């Protein structure tokens, strides 16, 4: 008879991969909308470009966001494979709903919220680490505002720098610049999101190995 822990571990890994897939088509437009709409790249080329830089991000930069999700929000001693499984299902469900109705929501925030909800359902509010949520909740509000301000500043700078330029003379420069910006966005997305998914695969794998070693 199959070991229940092993079965649950395999199931969580499969669901985590499904979340990766859903997150991919949910957030793909963010990375490639500009380069595709301006015909710098075809849709297939745009997806390949974004996928490549998301993959590179998995092997570069740090894991600060994944560490916060892994141990900074909930008491890990009360988190088990069922919490992870339920959290992943909740995040997938919300991502599909928001994708269907066209809401540009964050998959990372969906995962964090679903993870917390599953933890509270299992162990109550005591599982929450209050200090870990202060910066997370603060920047859920501040991030769009900061993005808006930085976007305005960048546009003013660009308009002033190129105000005497003829559009046809600088078109090639901006088209190449879109490739760089799309790559940078995908790198940031991969750094902040992809490693979170890896955390949800490592924990059940560790639990399964520990359980099997005791037999």
Instruction: Quote the Cα angle for 159-162-163, to 5°.
Output: 70
Helix (H) or strand (E) holding 212: helix 195-213
Q: Is the dihedral of CA 155, 156, 160, 166 positive or negative?
A: positive
The label of the residue with tokens 């892994």 reads: 70
Cα separation of 96 and 23, whole Å?
A: 9
* C-beta of residue 209 within 8 angstroms of C-beta of residue 6: no
Structure tokens at 151: 């976007």
Q: For 137, how many CA atoms within 13 A lie in the half-sphere containing its CB? A: 9
The token duo for 61 is: 């930069």
Count CB atoms within 10 A of the CB of residue 202.
13
What is the pLDDT tens value at each position of the chain, 215 positions in all?
667 777 888 888 888 889 888 887 777 677 788 888 888 888 888 888 888 888 887 777 666 666 666 667 888 888 888 888 899 999 999 999 998 888 888 888 888 899 899 999 999 998 888 888 888 888 888 988 999 999 999 999 999 998 888 888 888 888 888 888 888 888 877 776 655 555 555 555 554 444 444 44
pTM listed for this prediction: 0.75
Contacts of 106 (CB under 8 A, 6+ apart): 140
Phi, psi at 59, each rounded to 5°: -115, 10
Q: Tokens at residue 213, please?
A: 């070693």
Q: 85 in helix, strand or coil?
A: helix
- Sorted by sequence, the CB contacts under 8 Å of residue 212 that are 6+ apart come out as 3, 5, 6
């Amino acid at each position: 008879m199959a070991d229940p822990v092993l079965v649950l571990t395999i199931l969580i890994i499969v669901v985590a991969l499904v979340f990766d897939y859903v997150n991919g088509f949910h957030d793909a437009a963010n990375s490639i909308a500009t380069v595709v709409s301006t015909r710098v790249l075809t849709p297939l080329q745009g997806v390949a470009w974004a996928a490549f830089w998301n993959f590179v991000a998995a092997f570069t930069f740090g894991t600060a966001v994944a560490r916060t999700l892994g141990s900074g929000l909930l008491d890990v001693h009360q988190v088990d494979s069922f919490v992870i499984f339920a959290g992943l299902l909740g995040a997938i469900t919300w991502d599909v709903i928001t994708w269907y109705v066209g809401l540009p929501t964050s998959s990372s925030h969906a995962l964090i919220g679903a993870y917390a909800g599953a933890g509270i359902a299992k162990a109550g509010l005591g599982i929450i680490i209050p200090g870990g949520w202060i910066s997370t909740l603060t920047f859920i509000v501040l991030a769009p505002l900061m993005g808006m301000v930085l976007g305005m500043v960048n546009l003013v700078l660009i308009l002033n720098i190129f105000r005497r330029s003829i559009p046809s003379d600088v078109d090639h420069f901006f088209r190449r610049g879109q490739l760089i910006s799309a790559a940078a966005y995908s790198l940031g997305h991969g750094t902040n999101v992809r490693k979170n998914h890896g955390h949800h695969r490592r924990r059940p794998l560790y639990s399964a190995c520990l359980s099997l070693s005791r037999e």
